[in-house]
Amino acid sequence: MYQVIARKFRPQRFEDVVGQDHVTSVIKNAIDLDRLPHAFIFSGPRGVGKTSMARILAKAINCEKGLSSVPCNTCSQCEDITASRAVDVFEIDAASHTGVDDIRDLIENARYAPSSARFKTFIIDEVHMLSRNAFNALLKTLEEPPSHVIFIMATTELAKVPVTVLSRCQRYDFRRIAVDDIVAHLKSIASHESIDISDDAMITIALQADGSMRDAQGMLEHMASSGIEKIDMETVESMLGLVGRSTMHDLITALVHQDVPSMLDVIDAAYQYGQDLGQLYRSLLEQSRNMMVIKAGYSNLALAEEEKTFLKELVTEIPFEEVHRIVSVLLHAEEIMKFSTLPKIALETILLRIISAPRLTDLKQVLDLLATRPGAIPVRQPSPVSPVERYKRPPSTIPLSWDGFLRYLNDHDQPLYAILANTRLISEQGSRVVLACTGSFFADQLTKALPEITKRAQAFLKNDVSIEVEVQDGERHVNKKPKPSELRSQALKTPVVKELISEFDGALSDVKPRE
């Protein structure tokens, strides 16, 4: 009876698992050292070998020739597990057995000793699909399982598994399989099955598989079932509904050359032939990314040699800044393309935006071009400049006056400033300062603080200033306004005014009272 490629070439030993050496080496050592945990959890993308690894592990711990990291694959236990008929190895699809009753049946079954194998092995696939109650029912058994039970769980969405379950298992993260590893495995299968397929076609299949060996095997099976004698690049593109290489080359060339008519013709032809414009957009983004990394100096790309040659030649016609801009615009416009009900118009709009924008050019190229143009002004080397002593601007200081002293207190001593805020300067003559305050309450406060105020004022004004306090009647004080002659006299005695008049040879024209 015919077996599909994915089943026929399923790994039967740890060494057969492709691209997961970091997992197989640890599990093999644990088996050889007899340090097996009672529960495993395998996480990773689809089709990377999680279930296959679980079956190989089940064979390794139940092989009749003894606990070994290399199962014989010839004893009855190994053959039964390979054929999925072993009575002591249970494979449970959690997607269809999500309820707590299913887990209770499993727990009840786990209590009994295995009939013929060394361990009762429970392989629970897509374990994240279990309900919350089902997980809770499983917790106690996972924490203290019978000595004859091994749990192996697999999931593609580890975040959905409760941490209480994860903490009771040994976790192994499976990686996406590299393109080169998938291609090498496909070559082995093609040789064994006598499938005539080109290297470019296998690389395309591996890229479309996105790290999944099962997907790659399924696509190869699809190609082989077509009956085509020689599977080439065009066959793969046609059968997988991919954008043709020639279409992509024409589109990206028109984009780089800013050839609007050719670009619109390519899009229109793809639309008329019924191609998926979303796929065309994703392919364009991927090719633009390939151009960017090639321009940046990276050459280890998983592409056919013909494709690499084409892109390397194309990037010589465009600066890195422009390639980077193309990729950035395509990335930012991805949501527009994804949700648009008019994909043709959306694609045309995005690409026309790229073409219509001014092209970015390397600054060094611009300078070199200007230097070589006829009639260009020769660039003179700057002559050495003798050092010139810079004018040192005097630091800004607070004027050495009573107003300056109040500003100083406002910045450095708010309590004293609050007391003086209720006073009024009557006169400031030399080292004598007369203050007036209204009411006995403020007068008492000012009198108590006067020694400290005097000390701070002497330090700031740099002279032995004496401060006198006059208590005035409230109403008379409010209505009293200084005469203009008094204001002028006080202003002329202010040090900062004296300095300004002397510096600029000026005169005091007018004085207005402070509101």
Taking 50 as the threshold, does the pLDDT of residue 474 lie above it? no
Query: Where does residue 227 rank: exposed (0-12), middle (13-18), buried (19+ CB within 10 A)?
Result: exposed
Q: What are 241-258's pLDDT values in tens digits?
A: 787 888 889 999 999 999
At residue 363 the predicted structure's pLDDT band, cuts being 50, 70 and 90, is low
Q: Where in the chain is the domain with CATH 3.40.50.300?
A: 5-173
Q: Which amino acid is at 413?
A: D
Average pLDDT over residues 265-288: 90
Which CATH class, in words, describes the domain spanning 402-480?
Answer: alpha beta
Is the pLDDT at 181 greater than 90? The verdict is: yes
In the chain, which residues fall in CATH 3.30.300.180? 402-480
Beta bridge partners of 152: 40, 123
Distance of CA 453 to the CA centre of its chain: 59
Residue intervals in the chain for CATH 1.10.8.60: 179-240
Report the range of poorest mean pLDDT among 196-200, 288-292, 405-409: 405-409
Q: What CATH number does the domain located at 179-240 have?
A: 1.10.8.60
Domain 5-173 CATH (choose: 3.50.50.60, 3.40.718.10, 3.40.50.300, 3.40.50.1360): 3.40.50.300
* Helix or strand holding residue 512 (H, E): none
pLDDT, tens only, 293-324: 999 988 888 777 888 889 999 999 889 999 99
Q: What is the pTM of this model?
A: 0.62
State residue 482's pLDDT score: 59
Residues in the chain: 515
Phi, psi dihedral angles at 17 (to 5 degrees): -75, 125
| The pairing of beta strand 432-438 with beta strand 423-429 | antiparallel
